[in-house]
Structure 1
Amino acid sequence: MLLPGGDALRRPGREAASRIAVATGARILAEPTPARQERGAGIPHLDRLAYRGETVQTQLAGARSLVLAGATPPVAFFAYPGRPSDLVPEGCRVLDLGGRASAVRELADLVAPHARPVPARRTVPGMPGGELTAEKAAAVIGALLPEGAIVSDEAITSGWWLPQATAGAPPHDWLTLTGGAIGQGIPLATGAAIACPGRPVISLQADGSAMYTVQALWTQAREGLDVTTVIFSNASYAILGVELDLLRAEAGDNRSRTLLDLPRLDFVALAKGMDVPATRATTVAEFADQLRKALAEPGPCLIEAAVPPPTSFPV
C-alpha cells in the first residue's frame, strides 16, 4: 500500500501514485487530513484514510508493506481506552520515501515507466430534493462547484459526504483542517482569496468551529473578497457526540448535554452585522438557488445551511 501526503497530493504526485498502482497493483490511500490537494476531473482520485481507527484498520487490512510518501504512519486521532493507537497492521513493514515531493514521481519512473495514470471522470451528482441534510448539501456542492475553485473544508461531521460528491467536479484545490484544533476554516478561506484574487473561494464550515474565528467575515467584507461561506448549522458540537460514542460514554446526562448543545445561533444576523450578505436555506432547492447566486456574484456571501446533526458515523 502507498500512502501519499503533503506535496505528493498535488497533481504530479497523484498521477505518479496512480501509475504505480496501475503497474504494480498496489493500493493507494491519501493521508487523512492533507493541507492541500489538487483534485477533480482529469486528476486521479484518491480515497483518504478514515477518521475512525476501526475503519482505518479495515482499510489497511492485508497490507504487507506500507510505503510513505510525504505522510506519517497512521495512528488513532485520540488515545481510546482499550483500543490501539498504532494502526499499522501487525507484521506490515513501513518504508518511508521521505518528505520530498519528487520521491513518489521517482518511484513511479522506476517501477512504472510505461504506465499511464487513471484520471477521475467528470461526474455530476444527481440533484436531490426535500429537506436539506449534510449529505444532500454535499451533492449540491458537487454539482455546482466551479472550475478552479479553492475549497476550505472545516465542515467536520457535516463534511463526511463531500469527498465522494466532489471527486468528479471540475479541477479545484481542496484545503483541509490538518489537526485537532478548530477555527481555521474562515481565516483560511480569507487568506486563499487574498492569495488568489482571480479564483472563487468556497468555505465549508461547521457552526461550532465557526464561532472561534467568525470575525474573519469582517475582513472579507472590508477587502471585498470573493468568498462564499456555507455554515453547516446543526446547532451542536456534533464531533463531541461522536467522540463520546467512541468512548462508550453516556451522552444523555446534563454534563454531556452542556458540551454538545449550541444555542440557536443566527449566522445570517452575525454575517450581516459584519456587512456580509447572508441567507438561510432549509431545503435542497433553497440551498441550490442560493449557492448558484452566491457563486455568480463577486464579493463575500454567507449561506446558513440548516441541517440535522448526524445520526450515523460513516467514516
Structure 2
Amino acid sequence: MNGAQSLIRTLVDSGVEVCFANPGTSEMHFVAALDDVPEMRGVLALFEGVVTGAADGYARMAGKPAATLLHLGPGLANGGANLHNARKAHTPIVNVIGDHALPHKPLNAPLESDVETLAAWTEGWTRTTTDTARVGADAAEAVAAAAAGRIANLILPADVSWGEGGVVADPAPIAAPLLVEDPVLAAAADALRSGESTALLLGAAGCLERGLRAASRIAAATGAKVLAEVFPARIQRGAGLPAVERLGYLAEQAQWQLTGVKHLLLAGMAAPVSFFAYPGKASELTPEGCAVHTVATPADDVADALERLADLVAPGTEPVLAEPSRPALPTGELTLQNWVEVIGALLPEGAIISDEAQTSGLVLPAATAGAPRHDVLTLTGGSIGQGLPVAVGAAVACPDRPVVCLQADGSAMYTISALWTMARENLDVTTVILNNRAYAILRVELSRVGAESAGPVARSLLDIGTPDLDFVKLAEGMGVPASRATTAEELAEQFRRALAEPGPHLIDAVIPPLM
C-alpha cells in the first residue's frame, strides 16, 4: 500500500467521505488511489477557490469535515479567499496539499514554494508528512484537529505519496466541545435579572434550533434583546422556529440596535466591531459603559450553555415561535424589495439558502421569516466569491434538499466556474443572480469613507455593466439551463420551474442598483 492509499483509507475510516479537488502532477497518486477506495467521493472543480468554498459549504451542512486536494503552494494560495471565510466560520476542513518530492525541493523548480508558511495564516493545524509510514497517522490527527472547528493542512510530498509502506491508522479521538462552568452562567443570569437593558448576541451553534429556542426563552422571561451575528455560518429560520434579527452590516445599524444596552452577553461570538475603519467613526460597537459577559466561545458547547442559562432565568417559559406566513406574490418590474417577496412566497420546505448578496441581506430576512423551515449560509469572512461554491458543497452534503443560491453579479464572477461543477454533479441548485451591473456595495462604501468627491474615473471602477455580463450564456456554456427575468412575474414563473426540475438552474434577475 502506498502513502496515498493509506491516506484516503484513513480519511474514510475517520468519517471524511468527500474530497473536493483540483489536482496537479504532485497529487496524481492520490487521484489514482481514489479507485482503490470507492467510499471516497471525488468532486472536481476548475478553480481552487471553488474547491475550498465547496468544502466549507459541505461541512457547514454535514457537521463534519470534507477534504480538499490542492496543488502545491499556488493551489493553496488560489483557495485562500474561501479558506478565510471558512476560518471565520469555524468550519472543519482537511486540506491535502501536494508538494514536490523531498529530493526535488532544494532544486527550486518553478512551482517550488514554502507551503507551510502559506498554510500558517489559516491559524489551524499544519503538518508536512515526510515518512510514508506516518501518512495514515497524520491524516487521522488532521481529521481530529479539523473536527474542533479548524482548518487542518496536511502537506504531502509526492515521493511520500507514491512510496510503499503506507499504514492505515485508526481514527484519532475527537475532543467534545467544552462545557461552560456554572459560575459563568450564574454571572450571566445576574446580568439578565439586573433590570438593566441587556442584549444576547448569538453565533456558532447559538444560531441553530437548540440555541435559538433557549435564547427565545431567555428573551421572553427577561426582556433581553436577542440578535444573531452579522454573518452567521449557518442560521436556521422559518415557521416553527424563533425569529431572530441579525446585527446590521453597517456600524450605524448595529449601534442603533444596541442603543442603551448595559449588559452584552456573548454566546458563540466575539464583541461586535465595524467591518472597516471610517473617518471619525468608532470601530468597537459595544455601547459606552456597557458590561460585556462572555457566556460561551465558539469552542464551547454553546447550545448547552444557552439551555442551562434559560433554565436559570426562564424555568417553565416557552420560546416564541414564528407563525407560518408568506408575502403575496408581487407584480411589475423587479425592484430592490419585490424580488425578495418572490423568494419568500415560493421558498420550498427544507431549502438551504447560500446568500452572497448585500442586495438581499437587508430585506430577505423579513420576507422569509414565516416561510417553511430553512437554513441560511452567509458570507462569514466577507471575502467575496463564496456563494456559488458554498451552494455546491451544501448540495453535495444534502442531496435530498433544494439549494437556493442568491448571488450578487460582481462576486459571482470570482468563482463562476462553480456552475460547471453543479452541472457535472447534477446538483439541485437554483442560482438567482442579482444583476445590477455594479459593485453596488462599493458605491455605498465610496461615500461612507468620505470620498464624496470621486469623479467619473473612480466611479467607473465600480461599474461592471460595460460590457454587460450575459449570465444566461455563461451558465449555458457550462451546462446549466438559464433564463432572464426582468419582472416579478417572470422571476416567479422561472423560480417555480427551476425548483420543480432536477439539477442546476440559473436565473439572471435584472434589478436596479442600490444607489
Q: TM-score, normalised by structure 2?
A: 0.60
CA distance in structure 1 between the partners assigned to 2:450 and 2:338 by the alignment: 29
* Residue 308 of structure 1 pairs with residue 508 of structure 2: no
Which residue in 2 is equivalent to 1:270?
Answer: 474
Change (3 A) 1:251 1:123: farther
> 8 Å contact 1:150–1:175 — kept in the other structure?
yes
> 8 Å contact 1:205–1:229 — kept in the other structure?
yes
> 8 Å contact 1:287–1:305 — kept in the other structure?
yes
Which residue in 2 is equivalent to 1:284?
Answer: 488
CA distance in structure 1 between the partners assigned to 2:404 and 2:330 by the alignment: 21
Which of 254, 262, 273 aligns to 1:75? It is 273
Which residue in 2 is equivalent to 1:297?
Answer: 501
Which of 394, 404, 425 aligns to 1:202? It is 404
Which residue in 1 is equivalent to 2:254?
Answer: 56
Deviation at 1:158, TM superposition (A): 4.0
2:388 aligns to what SS in structure 1? helix
5+ residue gaps in structure 1? none
CA distance in structure 2 between the partners assigned to 1:251 and 1:240 by the alignment: 15
Deviation at 1:251, TM superposition (A): 6.5
Q: Deviation per CA, 1:236-277, whole angstroms, max 9, x where unpaired?
A: 000110111211313651332222100310000000000100
CA distance in structure 1 between the partners assigned to 2:401 and 2:453 by the alignment: 43
Q: Deviation per CA, 1:116-162, whole angstroms, max 9, x where unpaired?
A: 00001111112211101231110000000001011000012343210
* Residue 151 of structure 1 pairs with residue 349 of structure 2: no
CA distance in structure 2 between the partners assigned to 1:206 and 1:173 by the alignment: 19
Deviation at 1:30, TM superposition (A): 0.9
Q: Aligned letter for 2:500?
A: A
1:134 aligns to what SS in structure 2? coil
> 8 Å contact 1:75–1:86 — kept in the other structure?
yes
> 8 Å contact 1:277–1:300 — kept in the other structure?
yes
Change (3 A) 1:75 1:140: same
2:236 aligns to what SS in structure 1? strand
Which residue in 1 is equivalent to 2:206?
Answer: 8
Structure of higher CA gyration radius: 2
Which residue in 2 is equivalent to 1:239?
Answer: 441
2:438 aligns to what SS in structure 1? coil
Which residue in 2 is equivalent to 1:107?
Answer: 309
Change (3 A) 1:220 1:84: same
Deviation at 1:86, TM superposition (A): 0.5
Output the aligned Cα RMSD: 1.0
Q: Aligned letter for 2:223?
A: G
> 8 Å contact 1:38–1:172 — kept in the other structure?
yes
> 8 Å contact 2:237–2:369 — kept in the other structure?
yes
Which residue in 1 is equivalent to 2:162?
Answer: none
Q: Deviation per CA, 1:51-108, whole angstroms, max 9, x where unpaired?
A: 1111211110110100000011011110111100001001100000122222111111
Q: Which has the higher contact order (CA 8 A, sep 6+)?
A: 1
CA distance in structure 2 between the partners assigned to 1:290 and 1:278 by the alignment: 9
Which residue in 2 is equivalent to 1:116?
Answer: 318
Which of 50, 59, 66 aligns to 2:264? It is 66
* Residue 30 of structure 1 pairs with residue 234 of structure 2: no
CA distance in structure 1 between the partners assigned to 2:445 and 2:249 by the alignment: 11
5+ residue gaps in structure 2? 1-198
Change (3 A) 1:160 1:108: same
2:308 aligns to what SS in structure 1? helix
Could you tell which deviates more after superposition, 255-264 or 35-44? 255-264
* Residue 89 of structure 1 pairs with residue 287 of structure 2: yes
Deviation at 1:49, TM superposition (A): 0.5
> 8 Å contact 1:189–1:227 — kept in the other structure?
yes
CA distance in structure 1 between the partners assigned to 2:328 and 2:451 by the alignment: 38
Structure 1 runs, 4 residues or longer, greater than 3 Å off: none
- Aligned identity (percent) is 60
Which residue in 2 is equivalent to 1:134?
Answer: 336
Which of 365, 372, 378 aligns to 1:170? It is 372
1:20 aligns to what SS in structure 2? helix
CA distance in structure 1 between the partners assigned to 2:353 and 2:453 by the alignment: 33
Could you tell which deviates more after superposition, 99-108 or 122-131? 99-108
Which residue in 2 is equivalent to 1:182?
Answer: 384
**How many aligned positions are there?**
311
> 8 Å contact 2:435–2:510 — kept in the other structure?
yes
CA distance in structure 2 between the partners assigned to 1:89 and 1:252 by the alignment: 33
> 8 Å contact 2:359–2:434 — kept in the other structure?
no
CA distance in structure 2 between the partners assigned to 1:180 and 1:18 by the alignment: 28
Deviation at 1:210, TM superposition (A): 0.1
